[in-house]
A and B are shown apart, each in its own frame.
Chain A
Amino acid sequence: MANTETIPVTAQGTAKKRKRLSYSIWFILPAFILYTAFVIYPTLNSVNLSFTSWDGVSDEIRYIGFDNFVEMFRSERVYNALKNTLILSLSLVVLENIAALILAILVDQVRWFKSLFRSIFYFPVLLSGIVMGFVWAIIFNFNFGVISQLLDRIGLSDWKIDWLGNPNYALLAIIITTVWKGSGYYMIIYLAGLQGIPPELNEAAAIDGANRWQRFRHITFPLLASAMTVSVMLSMIGALKIFDQIAVMTDGGPGFATETLTYIVYKVGFGELRQGYGTALSLMLFVLILIVSLIQIKLLRKREVQM
């Protein structure tokens, strides 16, 4: 008796469950197929290609074992690119975050035209790196550029610098352009952090006689820590991926002065038609980004536990 009653219920339960399962599969499947075919498969295939001497054009793909990796670790050019990548990333993380924090505080505190300021600081984020890289290349131009013209006008022609033609300054020019273009993005993150701080805390501290700096140092700044973790990590990953500005402003030059890991992958793979070697280099970039991402996840978890 008890048995006959329970059977239909379970049967109905599994049918319902199966129906639920089947709709989920159909909803997820298109995204799953595309993502697997055009993100995961080529990523895995890059491991395969990195053991070949493929040129990117011919049908024949020859396996050469670890030759690409051996060449990579022996190459001066790769070490130079790694060095440029590290200089670029570290300077950008520091400068973009300082700039973003200053911008966020100004936008948060300023009394007039708050949203107009926010829009102006944020707008460069939305523009193409190619387009704005070109505009900045002209601002930096030695003969006719805006900076040179300004220096000429105030009689400081000796101070003119061939920004993009001088290996000592080219990377700096890329850094300036990127800070200008990227800071607004991180500003939004800090701004969200600032607006999440309850105003009572600052009011209470003000009543207790804390001045603006003390309030910033002991209330605002510690409470921005999680926004800062996110912003630092995103700017780090962003810096490792920079491509457009370099392509349009210096093409990796002069010499190899602005060649980064991202750029060398492109140059070797599509400029010099050594795509096997290019994929080997791209795996190095991937490992670098993976390390940064894992550190990020770890830091964020730790912070969650503390809170």
Chain B
Amino acid sequence: MDKVKLRIEIIMFIAALVLAVLFFFPVFFSLISAFKTNGEILRNAMSLPSGLYLDSFKYLLTETDFPKAMLNSLILTVVSIVCMIGIIPMAAYAIERTGKKWTNAVYVYFLAGMMIPFQVYMIPLFKEMKTLGLYGTLTAPILIYISGSVGMGVLLYTSFIKGIPAEIEEAAAIDGCTRVRTFWQIVFPLLGPCTASMVVLQGLGIWNDFLMPSLVLHSDQRTLIVEIFRFVGELASQWDLVFAGTTMSIVPVLIVFIALQKYFVKGIAAGATKG
């Protein structure tokens, strides 16, 4: 009996291992290719790099707009996330704690946005940004990111705030603490896990976004992903350079993922089961 059990466990492990190799291969392939010359990639895509060939990275960092694009992506991601965290938890808190008819209506109104895909409103949005004179500024994508995350953010935060007892806040109110201070000093610190999920999921979404920044930004404001997309078109034959670029976009994601793993999984599970 135990022998059968062990055999099943070994079979399962091997199956998982084979799938893991298949799943990891494209990432591995792009990481090793970044350290190979173009000739090496074309001759043998699967081989390990013969030496540590760093010229592609050097070229990208000195001869192209790549560093600037990375900076743009970083600015967009950080500023948008900070603004989101400054706005959305407060709204969710007011909706959840007020619990009136009108706040429920606002809640439904916010959630409806989750059903509207970006492609549906992108053309009018593009026009709106031009009218407002925001087209070609970093402000435009930041405003769009904050607005686009309201639905998902309010959903996550209200369900989390529901689980926090209101007694502490009431005590603070009796002590003469203002609503804003009560929220930021007492409630917000308790929302840590929720905020962490929000930051990692939305942050990655912004870091990886392509369509919107490619539409509302000028060519000298390209984000990392938009720049890589341009490389693919322009440097079609220079795979070594493009792979160096893809590696530089993957590595930050890998580091964040390893450091903050549990929040990714929690955020998805919460979003999916409540949504």
Residue numbers of A with Cβ under 8 A of B are: 20-21, 23-25, 27-28, 30-32, 34-35, 37-43, 45-46, 48-49, 56, 102-103, 106-107, 109-113, 115-124, 126-132, 134-139, 144-146, 149-150, 180, 184-185, 188-189, 192, 212, 230-231, 234, 237, 240-241, 243-244, 247-248, 262, 265-266, 269-270, 275, 278-279, 282-283, 285-286, 289-290, 293
Contacts and interface: CB of A to CB of B under 8 A. Distances in A.
Contacts of A123: 23-24, 27, 254, 257
B52 interface: no
Closest 9 CB pairs of A and B: A27-B94, A38-B147, A128-B208, A42-B124, A42-B121, A31-B91, A45-B124, A42-B125, A24-B94
Contacts of A38: 125, 128, 143-144, 147-148
5 contacts: A28-B106, A41-B124, A102-B19, A127-B253, A135-B246
Contact of B19 (A106, A243, A285): A106
Interface residues of B, number: 84
Interface string B11-52: 011011001101110110110000000000110111000000
Contacts of A117: 16, 20
A127 B225 CA distance: 11
Nearest to B121: A42
B174 interface: no
Contact of A124 (B26, B110, B116, B268): B26
Interface in B201-242: 204, 207-208, 210-211, 215, 225, 228-229, 232, 239, 242
A24 B20 CA distance: 49
A110 B12 contact: yes
Nearest to A111: B9
Interface in B233-275: 239, 242, 246, 249-250, 253-254, 257, 261, 264-265, 268-269, 272-273, 275
Contacts of A46: 120-121, 123-124
B124 A247 contact: no
Interface of B: 8-9, 12-13, 15-16, 19-20, 22-24, 26-27, 29-30, 41-42, 44-46, 87-88, 90-91, 93-95, 97-98, 100, 103, 106, 110, 113, 115-128, 143-144, 146-148, 150-151, 154, 179, 183, 204, 207-208, 210-211, 215, 225, 228-229, 232, 239, 242, 246, 249-250, 253-254, 257, 261, 264-265, 268-269, 272-273, 275
A23 B210 contact: no
B120 A45 contact: no
Contacts, number: 258
A189 B272 contact: yes
B160 to A, nearest CB: 16
B247 to A, nearest CB: 9
Contact of B46 (A28, A118, A149, A234): A149
Given A24-B95, A41-B124, A134-B242, 8 more contacts: A28-B95, A42-B121, A123-B254, A127-B253, A134-B228, A139-B26, A243-B119, A248-B229
A279 B124 contact: yes
Contacts of B122: 42, 265-266, 269, 282
A124 B23 contact: yes
Contacts of B16: 106-107, 110, 113, 117
